[in-house]
C-alpha cells in the first residue's frame, strides 16, 4: 500500500499490462473493487485508492469539493506516472471520473462508468444531502450509512451475498462522520457534466445494474446515447453496486471492452 498526498493507494498486478484506475462509490472504500482487482491483476496493473475522507485515507477538515477529489485523482496519475490509464468509476466515482476526463481528456486511454449519472443534484437532491449532513451531526455517521447502503443493493443480492454483504456493510459503517459529510458536500456542489458527454473522445463503456434504484438503466442509456464511441451494458439481477453484486458478469463485460482497446 502506498501513501500519496494523504490517500491510501493500492497498486497491484501486472505492471506491463494496461492500467486500470478504479474510483469507488459513496460511502464506501476501495475494497468495493475486490472482485475486479482479483480478476484483472493477472494481465493488468490495477490501482485502487480510498477517496479522501473514506476508508483509510485522511479526512482532514472534511471541506471537500468534487474539484478537490479530481485534483487527488490527477495527483495519483502524475505521481505514479500513469500512461493513459483506463479510468473506471462507480457512482460518486463516476462523477469524479467524468469531471476528470472533462478537465484532462489527454490523460486517459478509456473510460468505464458504472451506475452513475452526469446531471448535478436537483434541488430535491441537494436538500436530501443537507438532511443527511444534519442527521450525521445529530446522530453520527452510522445510522445514516446503515440506511443508505442497503438501498444500493438489489434485495435478492443481499440474501445471495450473505456474510459478504454483512462485511461490506460493516466496512462502510466504519467510515468517519467528517469524511462522509465531506463527500455529501462534494456531491451536492458538483457541476453538471451532461453537456460534455458528446465531446468524450476516448472509448467508453457504461454499465448499469438492471434494478439500480439510484441510477436506473434509462438514465445511463441516455448518457450512452450522447457519448460517441460508447457501449452500454445492463447487468441482470443486481442493483447499484453491480461490480460487487455480480462481479463475474461485470468482469466479463469489462474484459470484452478492454480487449478492443
| Contacting positions for ligand MLT (CB under 6 A) | 25-26, 91-92, 187, 214, 240
Distances in Å between the alpha carbon of 220 and those of 142, 189, 209, 217?
A: 30, 21, 10, 5
Residue entry with cell 452526469? 118
Distance of CA 216 to the CA centre of its chain: 16
Cβ 261 to ligand MLT shortest distance, Å: 25
State which residue, 88 or 258, has the beta carbon closest to ligand MLT. Answer: 88
In the complex, the smallest distance separating the C-beta of residue 25 from ligand MLT, rounded to whole angstroms, is 3
Q: How far is the CB of 26 from ligand MLT (least distance, A)?
A: 3
Which residues, at least 6 apart from 239, have a Cβ–Cβ distance to it below 8 Å? 152, 153, 154, 157, 209, 211, 212, 213, 245
Minimum gap (Å) between residue 102 Cβ and ligand MLT: 18
State in angstroms the smallest separation of the CB of 4 from ligand MLT.
22
CB nearer to ligand MLT: pick between 37 and 215? 215
Q: How far apart are CA 134 and CA 181, in angstroms?
A: 9
Taking every pair of C-alpha atoms in the chain, what is the biggest distance, in angstroms? 50
Please compute Rg for the chain using Cα positions.
17
Nearer of residues 172 and 254 to ligand MLT, judged by Cβ: 172
Q: Which is nearer to ligand MLT, 21 or 258 (CB)?
A: 21
Q: Minimal distance in Å, beta carbon 201 to ligand MLT?
A: 25
Rounded Cα distance, 229 and 198, in Å = 9
Task: Phi first, then psi: give them for residue 131, nearest 5 degrees.
Answer: -65, -35
C-beta of 18 vs 129, nearer to ligand MLT: 129
Minimum CB separation of residue 139 from ligand MLT in Å reads 19
**Which of 240/249 has CB closer to ligand MLT?**
240
18 or 30: whose CB is closer to ligand MLT?
Answer: 30
The beta strand positions in the chain, using DSSP E, are 2-4, 7-13, 19-23, 45-49, 86-90, 110-114, 204-209, 230-235
Q: Report the C-alpha gap between 231 and 241 in whole angstroms.
A: 19
Q: Which residues pair with 110 in a beta bridge?
A: 86
Q: Assess whether the previous peptide bond of 98 is cis (omega < 30° from 0).
A: no
Amino acid at each position: 500500500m502506498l501513501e500519496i498526498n494523504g490517500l491510501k493507494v493500492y497498486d497491484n498486478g501486472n505492471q506491463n499490462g494496461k492500467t486500470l484506475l478504479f474510483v469507488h462509490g459513496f460511502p464506501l472504500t476501495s475494497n468495493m473493487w475486490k472482485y475486479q482487482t482479483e480478476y484483472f491483476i493477472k494481465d493488468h496493473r490495477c490501482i485502487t485508492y480510498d477517496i479522501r475522507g473514506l476508508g483509510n485515507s485522511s479526512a482532514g477538515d472534511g471541506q471537500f469539493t468534487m474539484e478537490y477529489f479530481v485534483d487527488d485523482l490527477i495527483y495519483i496519475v502524475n505521481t505514479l506516472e500513469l500512461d493513459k490509464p483506463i479510468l473506471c468509476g462507480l457512482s460518486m466515482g463516476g462523477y469524479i471520473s467524468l469531471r476528470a476526463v472533462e478537465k484532462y481528456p489527454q490523460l486517459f486511454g478509456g473510460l468505464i462508468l458504472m451506475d452513475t449519472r452526469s446531471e448535478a443534484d436537483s434541488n430535491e437532491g441537494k436538500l436530501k444531502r443537507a438532511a443527511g449532513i444534519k442527521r450525521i451531526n445529530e446522530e453520527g455517521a452510522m445510522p445514516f450509512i446503515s440506511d443508505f447502503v442497503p438501498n444500493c443493493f438489489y434485495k435478492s443480492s443481499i440474501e445471495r451475498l450473505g456474510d459478504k454483504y454483512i462485511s461490506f456493510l460493516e466496512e462502510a459503517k466504519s467510515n468517519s462522520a467528517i469524511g462522509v459529510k465531506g463527500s455529501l458536500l462534494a456531491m451536492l456542489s458538483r457541476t453538471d457534466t451532461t453537456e460534455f458527454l458528446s465531446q468524450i473522445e476516448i472509448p467508453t463503456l457504461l454499465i448499469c445494474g438492471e434494478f439500480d434504484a439510484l441510477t436506473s438503466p434509462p438514465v445511463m442509456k441516455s448518457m450512452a446515447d450522447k457519448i460517441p464511441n460508447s457501449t452500454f451494458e445492463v447487468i441482470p439481477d443486481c442493483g447499484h453496486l453491480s461490480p460487487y453484486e455480480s462481479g463475474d458478469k461485470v468482469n466479463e463485460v469489462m474484459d470484452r471492452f478492454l480487449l478492443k482497446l
